[in-house]
Structure 1
Amino acid sequence: MQDLKLIRKENCEQEKSLFIDNLTVITDMVVYLQSSDLCEYDIEIMRKDLIGMALEAQFRGEKFSNVIGEDYKSFCNELILSGDIKSTKKKILNCLFGATVVIGFMFILEIFMYSCTSPKDALKFHMPITWGFVLSTLLIIVAGYGILKFIAKNSFKLSDKHSTRAINLFGISFIMTFCIIGLVKYFLRNLVIGTINYLYPLVILAVTLIVIKSLNKQ
């Protein structure tokens, strides 16, 4: 079995030879495949096959749609049925990894913002944790997951300039979601849960990421 990183690198190199229309279609198809529970290795193998078919079509002077048909979504659904599904362990680890990355980013941003307003306390590695930070971080995790799923499931519609309904729905939902998160963060900024030494959570987050990464490779 080839290494996943090697296949991904080869696919990225091969994509440079694709016509822009074919590249757009394949990108939409791969994004749609990622909305399923297919394992990453199978997705990259399917991506490799799609690139190969597109390059062969280009060489013959044909349209890619002549090879796989016009209904790209149905073609992807057939691919999904033929692939291997992620294990429950992989799904949980992927969710934990994504959540840990978001928490880590938000926590570092919180440290930076607090350092700008209270540099003396920040130099002592002390920082208050507010309900605004906790709830806005949780909302970002949930909203981020929902947005990624929406983009993946509607990849063909969102890339279609004529499909204004899906694009407008996504745009409105995106703006409203982050306005709500911003309001939660602002109005609950003074509700302090407690004060902590922020070095400990940073170490815990770093160790958590390393552990998740190592478990994902098994």
Structure 2
Amino acid sequence: MALIHNNLKDLQKENSISIKTIRSDQNRNEVTRMIQYLSSSHLSLFQIEVIQKDLIGIALEADREQMTMSEKLGISMKEFCDGIIQSTEEYPARRERIYQEVVTAVQYLFYLYAIEYIIFQSVPAHWGISIQLTVGLLVFLTLNRMTSLYIRNRLSLHPKAYMRSMYNVAMLAGFIIYVLITRLFLRHIHTLLFYGNGWLILSVLAFMALIATFSMNRYWNNCSQKYNY
């Protein structure tokens, strides 16, 4: 059961429910922005969720006292977040995020192949991994990396609202680029990068996605033992 269970997802679910109990829209948004900012640092993803749980508690106290988060903290949100980052021991967050992105890539490769093979190709006897599928996967991973880390998170505490909205602009631009590439340049290209028995390839990808998921679950469960939350 330990491989199926994911303590990080449990904590994320708990936080997603708890944050809705913050009555003040301002305080709720400020907690979200602080977590996004912390997500661009060297902190572990699990530690960030633990911090979010604490910040939600502070926001609820601020609600009861009719204060804003900044008033409750006594300093600006950015100063508070930078203080946490500077006081925390360096953690191999880059390696952790790469590990997670590899797992995500394997999972989405299976999902995209299953959709393409079963729905769009009507289950031919032989099929493989197409160029369109590979481009779609690469575009998704690149967008996810760039928009979440370099755009949404690092601009989350920017004082100007239009700068904080650049995440949505980047996602829309990325989608348009993907459509242009696949429809205009790859529309007539049907080359398969890997070819074989369609069901066998689907089974292998499913097995890989399962192993990757179990491995990630085990990693997060081990991480959870480091924190008292």
TM-score range, shorter chain: 0.7 to 0.9
1:101 aligns with 107
**Superposed CA RMSD:** 2.8
**1:120-139 correspondence to structure 2 within 5 Å:** 122=123, 124-127=124-127, 129-139=129-139
* Cα distance change of structure 1 residues 111 and 56 upon mapping to structure 2, 3 Å threshold: same
1:80 aligns with 85
Provide the C-alpha distance between the structure 2 equivalents of 1:64 and 1:91, rounded to a whole number of angstroms: 29
Relative to the length of structure 1, the TM-score reads: 0.77
Give yes or no for the alignment of 1:49 onto 2:54.
yes
From 158, 180, 185, give the equivalent of 2:182: 185
What code does the residue aligned with 1:136 have? G
From 36, 39, 43, give the equivalent of 2:44: 39
What count of residue pairs does the alignment treat as equivalent?
206
2:225 aligns with none
What code does the residue aligned with 1:178 have? F
Provide the C-alpha distance between the structure 1 equivalents of 2:153 and 2:125, rounded to a whole number of angstroms: 40
Q: CA deviation at 1:144?
A: 2.3
The worse-fitting range, judged by mean Cα deviation, of 169-178 and 71-80 is 169-178
Please say if residues 34 and 77 of structure 2, whose CA atoms lie closer than 8 Å, have aligned partners that are also in contact.
yes
* Cα distance change of structure 1 residues 101 and 59 upon mapping to structure 2, 3 Å threshold: same
1:16 aligns with 20
Give the % identical residues: 24
Gaps of 5+ in 2: 1-6, 220-229
Q: Deviations over 1:24-74 (max 9, x none)?
A: 111111122222232132112211221121222222232221122463223
Provide the C-alpha distance between the structure 2 equivalents of 1:206 and 1:83, rounded to a whole number of angstroms: 38
Provide the C-alpha distance between the structure 1 equivalents of 2:68 and 2:85, rounded to a whole number of angstroms: 23
* Cα distance change of structure 1 residues 199 and 33 upon mapping to structure 2, 3 Å threshold: farther
Q: Deviations over 1:125-184 (max 9, x none)?
A: 433644333233322221222122221222234xx7x522553x5454433322221122
What code does the residue aligned with 2:107 have? V
Relative to the length of structure 2, the TM-score reads: 0.74
Give SS of 1:192's match. Answer: coil
1:91 aligns with 97
Provide the C-alpha distance between the structure 2 equivalents of 1:139 and 1:11, rounded to a whole number of angstroms: 30
* Cα distance change of structure 1 residues 12 and 146 upon mapping to structure 2, 3 Å threshold: closer
Provide the C-alpha distance between the structure 1 equivalents of 2:9 and 2:168, rounded to a whole number of angstroms: 33
Give SS of 2:67's match. Answer: coil
Which structure has the highest helix share of the two? 1
Gaps of 5+ in 1: none
